[in-house]
Amino acid sequence: MDILLVSTEFAPYIVETHAAEAVTSLAKSLRLLGHEVTVALPRYPAFEAAGILAARRLTPLRLEGGGEVVVFDAQLPSGVQLVLFDAPLLFERPGVYGEEGEDYADNAKRFGFFSDAVAALVRARAELGKTFDVVHLHDYAAGLVAVKLAARPGPTLPTVLTVHDGLLSGQFPLKAKDELGIPDEFCHPQGFRLGTKLCVLKGAVATADRVVTTSPTYAHSLESPERFGALSRVFREAPDVLGILGGVDYSLYNPATDPALVSRFDAEDLSNKGRNKSAVLRELELDLDMSRPLFFAQAVRGGNSALDTLAASLRSLLKNDLQLVVVSDEAHADKLEAAAADYKDAVRVLRQAPERQLRRLWAAADFYLGLERSNPSAQALLRAQRYAAVPVALGVDAAVDAVVDCDPDLETGTGFLFDTVTQRALVGAVARALAAYGSPRFPQLVRRVARQDLGWDRPARRYAQVYRQTLGAHA
């Protein structure tokens, strides 16, 4: 198949949400399966800085509403093609959606332009007899493309929309209709209208041929009025929203080849994992007692980790003979450091950690604490398991799909889930993990975690199946 992925993020060049890594990994994996893959993006300065842009400029594309856009193209070593739309006044900025928690005031204009450019690309390819088989849109900023393609005269292309984060819904005042480029016939309660605003994600869900999200459990979470308000009704009424759990890019996250590790290991020989633990204990000047289980927790992008609950639970947790490393965000660092002040041999709070250090911490940890209150993708949980850290996680969203709760005898399962963000629930889950650590079956559990198929091949094959089904239904 000839597949067009549309996104405003693409790792490692422009990353604001977990969608960036997902789009990159999916594109690469689809290419490995033999598909032709093109990714359409705004042109960000980071592409030039990385030296990946070809010097060639394509013929400017004519936009449907008038005007033109200059297109740059590039090919990645994976064979994935990039098509980048040049609009420096709109996209030469530090953020994708905004800065310091505030959306850019001109996002309607920015993403309206971007969706117009993608529609022009699709039209130009069709005129050359090189029509894409399917267009796969990622989150609301790309979701506008669905309506731009549906509004065109003549045959339409199958569209698949992936919702990576339902809270990122793209709500604008009604007067933004023209900047977004939404035709009048779509500005109604069954289309983009949500109360007194236009909701781009709502309209995209209503218009796309197929809607997918990041895990089966998150697909159900999107139907919750408590979490998603009026938008939840859109997902409840959408036909067959499919959840596909993503994976880990094995070319980037592989403890058998990772140069960041002191000693490499794999699922079949975990003996060197302990060397990484001892190296981290020395590096952080923690008590060098290998018999004490090492827990690792990190603040994830978006600031929704329950590190406040961890700080409040610290005294209870440290009644047990364990050690803990926390990579905190600034919002919780002071509270964590204050709570850890009396346990200098057992706890380290780091205010930041580069990617290499995160890899070393995953490789060193016996357990990974997954504390995200909202966890659409479970990316951090999956990566920690790739490095043979047993997860202890809040059982929400994709975490439920990424972790199988262990039975009391440790005969099945890959980790320990708890249901509520409370001190009692967290301490109870850690107690279960500690009991497992003292069991003779614990090494079997670690091997079971490490041997899981967490790569992107299976999710990519599932997406390819969705494309074929959508193509068949569209024919």
pTM, entire model: 0.95
Q: Is residue 289 part of a domain?
A: yes
By the 10 Å C-beta count (0-12 exposed, 13-18 middle, 19+ buried), 309 is classed as buried
The verdict on residue 446 lying in a domain is yes
Q: CA 283 → CA 74, 123, 279, 286, 469, distances in Å?
A: 41, 56, 6, 8, 52
Same domain? For 434 and 367 the reply is: yes
The answer to whether the CB of 20 falls within 8 A of the CB of 9 is yes
What integer pLDDT is reported at residue 152 of this predicted model? 77
Section 150-155 average pLDDT: 75
Quick one: 462 and 446 in the same domain? no
Q: Which domain holds residue 397?
A: 273-450
Tokens matching residue 230: 């009026």
Q: What is the pLDDT of residues 59-78, one digit of tens each?
A: 788 888 778 898 998 899 99
Query: Measuring CA to CA, which residue among 199, 246, 182, 223 is closest to residue 376?
Result: 246
pLDDT on residue 260:
97
- 200 is a domain residue: yes
Are both 12 and 74 inside the same structural domain?
Answer: yes
Phi first, then psi, for residue 11 (nearest 5°) are -75, 150
Question: SS3 for 399?
Answer: helix
Mean pLDDT (whole number) for 210-231: 97
Helix or strand or coil: residue 449? helix
Tokens of 253: 């996250």
Residue 241 lies inside a defined structural domain of this protein: yes
pLDDT for residue 352 = 87
What percentage of the chain reaches a pLDDT higher than 90? 85
Give me the CATH number covering residue 23: 3.40.50.2000
Q: Is the peptide bond before 183 cis (omega within 30 degrees of 0)?
A: no
**pLDDT at residue 56, as a whole number:** 57
Based on the domain organization, do 173 and 309 belong to the same domain? no
Same domain, 107 and 180: yes
Cα–Cα distance for residue pair 80/104, rounded to 1 Å: 30
